[in-house]
Structure 1
């Protein structure tokens, strides 16, 4: 089935969006984790490093998701919805990251695992909300 805009809809459209969202997520995650570890290496407090990394990863994700994964035109409403969603997600990932750092034993992998745990939860929430609210057609 083809949507009026020439894009596929239904199950195939969902799968294609999910695959593109995943690819965008990988790129955004690399940007996010790189900024997080760089911030920590430069001596930023954990919360500041995570905030910086979130902004870098989120900016990357918004541009790529809007243009490629969900293939929609930009608008002030979409940008505002995206900002609201990611602002909420930011609070969640900061909380999960902090909780993981407080609860996990201090090993060489703890910082990266805490980041991955918070990122994974945020990613699941974001896909559902982006698809159903922000970038719906």
Structure 2
């Protein structure tokens, strides 16, 4: 507890390096959920690429939000924060599905790496947007 905290109140201040490492670990787990479900739905269930990507995204981002709120940013529940995350995820959903679609279409259908490379480019872009906005805006909301 720091001097500026009231008794019984935990500090929610976690350093940038710790947040970044936790964000990456959370992101890795969430990416496994997202990509695993996406690939399963795309290849085994034969869903259209955008529907499979959308379902994987929702599962992965739900996992990420829950872990990031509690572990990465140590933030208490907040309705305002939750609504801000929903808005952010709506934007990153559009960005991620759009980028995935562009690269999925750009690569030849016969290339074995078509799906994972399109996914990584889309996921990487969304991850940078998510970290910056969550750290600088969302998890500062009280």
TM over 0.5: yes
Q: CA deviation at 1:58?
A: 0.6
Residue 25 of structure 1 is matched in structure 2 by: 27
Residue 97 of structure 1 is matched in structure 2 by: 100
Task: Give yes or no for the alignment of 1:74 onto 2:82.
Answer: no
Runs of 4+ in 1 over 6 A off after TM superposition: none
CA RMSD of aligned residues (A): 1.5
Corresponding residue to 2:134 among 119, 123, 130: 130
Q: Which has the larger radius of gyration?
A: 2
Q: CA deviation at 1:44?
A: 0.6
Q: TM-score, normalised by structure 1?
A: 0.91
Q: CA deviation at 1:89?
A: 0.3
CA distance in 1, matches of 2:61, 2:12: 25
Residue 61 of structure 1 is matched in structure 2 by: 64
Deviations 1:28-84 (A, max 9, x none): 000000110011120110000000000000110010000000000011111100000
